[in-house]
Amino acid sequence: MKENHLTEDNCVPEVNPSIPSTIPKFVDELPIPKVLNPDKRGNNYAYYEIEMKCAGHKFHRDFCKTLVYGYNGIYPGPTIETMKDQAVYAKWINNLPLKHFLPVDKSLHGAIDNPEVRTVVHLHGANVAPESDGFPEAWFTRNYEFTGSSFSKEVYEYPNNQQATTLWYHDHSLGITRLNVYAGLAGFYIIHDFNELSLGLPKDEYDIPLIIQDKTFNSDGSLFYPSNTTPPNKYVNPSVVRAFIGATMVVNGKVWPYFKVEPRKYRFRILNASNTNGYVLKLSNGQSFYQIGTDGGLLGEPVKLESFPLDPAERIDVIIDFSKLKHGDTVILNTEETDFKVDVMQFKVELPLKYKDRSVIPKKLRPMEKLDKDMAKRIRRLTLSQSLDHYGRNMLMLNNKMFSDPATEMPEYDSIEIWEIANPLVNPPNVSHPIHLHLVQFQILNRQPFDVNTFNEKKFIEYGTGIDYTGAPVDPDPSERGWKDVVRVEPGKVTRIIAHFKNYTGDYIWHCHILEHEDHDMMRPLRVIKKYCD
């Protein structure tokens, strides 16, 4: 991959980027992705042209520039901001090279016989028509020269007919999503509404998006991504891996940055855009967070949290109050894993208070409607499963089906459904799978433990009544009691969600948001169908 590595002339890295312990922490200031100006603005719409291209990106003061793929050549991509009900049109343009700089596994769905660098953009969490959703087979190559079977248009339309929230856009091409997102193709998309703006929350320079990704670097500073499993699969090389966990933490494009704050309240919209890793985040001084929102928008009321889990693709909206801290104090945002602790970034209370902090943590944020279980037209029972693929590799699936198998999850238009997702995969790695549905924001009903051994013996795939529960259903965490588009489906439990499939019919998908799983068939069609009669 050397030949693709962009180096500035004469740049020699000051540290060895492949050895994280040599990289000084908290020496780079946190960049804030800039808000993109539309190319055109009308009465109730904005139009953008966004070009995906290669760029040299400086991840750290002591690194040379690293080759990334960026929207408009920047990583993370520029932020798109809009008001609710103001339409956004985006022409996504691929000006990337034809050959990928990361190892492409040609055996995966979509990667066989297709050009290496394919792109398609998905606005994660948005309620949009299927042609603008970024279906994995709607990919296109440079200049739209080659297109996937579902490609239908160049300009996507986002009506933004949903409440204020933090969405994100990222690549979703079949079989290479993990590589394209890791290469840099991800950015924020923020919707505001009048309710949110009337609440007195910290805003503008006190409203900061944080995109967290873990990454590993080669010694020359280029991005490292594994090209094979250990031990290597002898039939497929490069081969997809089961998990990828980077050795450094990158926030808004910098390795272990710091952020200078005033002694006052700030709002942080935190997104975990890592390939595999979930985090449990906390503050090093034991201070609390005040959570105000989830994936799909504001909660009914704030929730005080000491720490919270954040799995891939999940967002959390929190307020941190630095007003009790003294000038010069520092606080580290870190993770709380059982066996190891990882620093993410640092806050330095170093700026003088510009003016009195008049922002508030309101008692009530918005009326939180609850989807009613009794309104559910159908309960769908689904199982996370695994098998071996054609090359003898372990392959994770949904309901024992591959992505290319015919659609089976076909909710009726405007119907409410309960999905009960069983995760019997308790053998190591014994992880939660962050399951994501396109099109909808859903609510988590509960999680209930079941007897995995009997479940496996009976070979339940679409399980029915025969499941042996070993405990009562447990309510979702306080941090999950809002609108969600990703849910942790924990091992040994059935996770129940409720969703209203409204506004559009057509072909969407649901999948695990661990990108290595998604690219290797832990993804299924989701088809919303029109009903002709009851």
Given the rule CB under 5 A, which residues bind Cu ion?
Answer: 124, 433, 438, 512, 514, 517
Binding site partner of 514, from Cu ion, ligand C2O, none, Cβ cut-off 5-8 A by kind: Cu ion
Q: Is residue 267 part of the contact set for ligand C2O (CB under 6 A)? A: no
Strand order in the sheet with 165-171: 77-83, 186-192, 165-171, 121-124
Residues 6+ apart with CB under 8 A from 294: 315, 316, 317, 479, 480, 481, 482, 483, 484
Side-chain half-sphere exposure of 152, counting CA atoms within 13 A? 11
Residues 292, 201 contacting (CB under 8 angstroms): yes
Task: Give the separation between CA 300 and CA 365, rounded to whole angstroms.
Answer: 5
Considering only 84, 178, 264, 438, the residue that binds ligand C2O (CB under 6 A) is 438
**Exactly one of 36, 96, 313, 497 binds ligand C2O (CB under 6 A); which one?**
313
Contacted by 172, from ligand C2O, Cu ion, none: CB < 5 to 8 Å by type: ligand C2O
Query: In one letter, which amino acid is 134?
Result: G
Give the interface size with ligand C2O as a residue count (CB under 6 A).
Answer: 10
Residue 505's φ and ψ, nearest 5 degrees, are -115, 165
Closest distance between Cu ion and the C-beta of residue 347, in Å? 30
- By the 8 A CB rule, do 246 and 214 touch? yes
Q: At 467, list the tokens.
A: 């499941």
Closest contact distance (angstroms) between CB of 461 and Cu ion is: 17
**Binding site partner of 170, from ligand C2O, Cu ion, none, Cβ cut-off 5-8 A by kind:** ligand C2O
Q: What does the angle CA 397 – CA 398 – CA 401 come to, to the nearest 5 degrees?
A: 75
Q: Is 124 in the site for ligand C2O (CB under 6 A)?
A: yes
304-308-314-317 Cα dihedral, nearest 10 degrees:
30
In the complex, minimum distance from the CB of residue 114 to ligand C2O, in angstroms, rounded to a whole number: 19
What whole-number distance in Å separates Cα of residue 171 and Cα of residue 150?
A: 15
Q: In angstroms, what is the minimal distance from the CB of 421 to ligand C2O? A: 16
Q: Are 483 and 507 in contact (CB under 8 A)?
A: no
CB-based closest residue to ligand C2O: 124
User: Long-range contacts of range 2-9, CB-CB < 8 Å, 24 or more positions apart?
Assistant: 2/220, 2/222, 4/67, 4/101, 4/222, 5/66, 5/67, 5/101, 5/220, 5/221, 5/222, 6/54, 6/56, 6/65, 6/66, 6/67, 7/64, 7/65, 7/220, 7/221, 8/56, 8/64, 8/65
Q: Least distance from C-beta 351 to ligand C2O, angstroms? A: 34
Closest C-alpha among 75, 102, 80 to residue 90: 80
Does 282 sit near ligand C2O (CB under 6 A)?
A: no
CB of 517 to Cu ion, least distance (A): 3
Q: How far is the CB of 188 from ligand C2O (least distance, A)?
A: 13
Asked if 170 interacts with ligand C2O (CB under 6 A), we say yes
Q: Least distance from C-beta 313 to ligand C2O, angstroms? A: 5
Q: Which residues are registered as beta bridge partners of 166?
A: 190
Binding site partner of 511, from Cu ion, ligand C2O, none, Cβ cut-off 5-8 A by kind: ligand C2O
Residue 344 near which of ligand C2O, Cu ion, none (CB within 5-8 Å, type-dependent): none
402, amino acid identity: M
Residue whose Cβ sits closest to Cu ion = 512
CA distance linking residue 83 with residue 158, whole number of Å: 12
175 contact partners, CB below 8 Å, separation of at least 6:
105, 108, 109, 110, 111, 114, 136, 519
Q: Please, which residue, 66 or 275, has the CB nearer to ligand C2O?
A: 275
- Regarding 527 and contact with ligand C2O (CB under 6 A), the answer is no
Shortest distance, position 128 Cβ to ligand C2O, whole Å = 12
Least distance to Cu ion, CB of residue 384, Å: 7
Beta carbon of residue 171, minimum distance to ligand C2O (angstroms, whole number): 9
Nearer CB in complex with ligand C2O: 122/493: 122
DSSP of 418-432, one letter per residue?
Answer: EEEEEE---STT---
32-71 binders of ligand C2O (CB under 6 A)? none
Which of 58, 84, 122, 366 touches ligand C2O by CB under 6 A? 122
Upper half-sphere CA count for residue 494 (Cβ side, 13 Å): 28
CB 350 → Cu ion: shortest distance, Å?
A: 37
Is 208 or 494 the residue whose CB approaches Cu ion more closely?
494
Alpha carbons 172 and 133: distance in angstroms, whole number: 10
- As measured in angstroms, the least distance from the Cβ of 69 to ligand C2O is 17
Taking the least distance from each CB to Cu ion, the nearer of 208 and 422 is 422
* Alpha carbon distances (Å) from 145 to 96, 115, 181, 349: 12, 10, 22, 51
Please choose which of Cu ion, ligand C2O, none residue 313 contacts, taking the beta carbon within 5 to 8 angstroms, the exact cut-off set by kind. ligand C2O
120 binds ligand C2O (CB under 6 A): no
Binding mask 483-522 for ligand C2O (x = CB under 6 A): --------------------------x-x-x---------
With CB cut-offs between 5 and 8 Å by kind, which of Cu ion, ligand C2O, none does residue 255 bind? none
> Which one of Cu ion, ligand C2O, none is in contact with 512 (Cβ closer than 5 to 8 A by kind)?
Cu ion
Per the CB < 8 A criterion, the answer to whether 419 and 378 are in contact is no
CB-nearer residue toward ligand C2O: 438 or 447: 438
Phi, psi dihedral angles at 515 (to 5 degrees): -65, -30
- Choosing from 57, 58, 436, 520, the residue that interacts with ligand C2O (CB under 6 A) is 436
Closer CB to ligand C2O, 63 or 92, in the complex: 92
From ligand C2O, Cu ion, none, interface partner of 433 (C-beta below 5 to 8 A by class): Cu ion
Contacts with ligand C2O by CB under 6 A lie at 122, 124, 170, 172, 313, 436, 438, 509, 511, 513
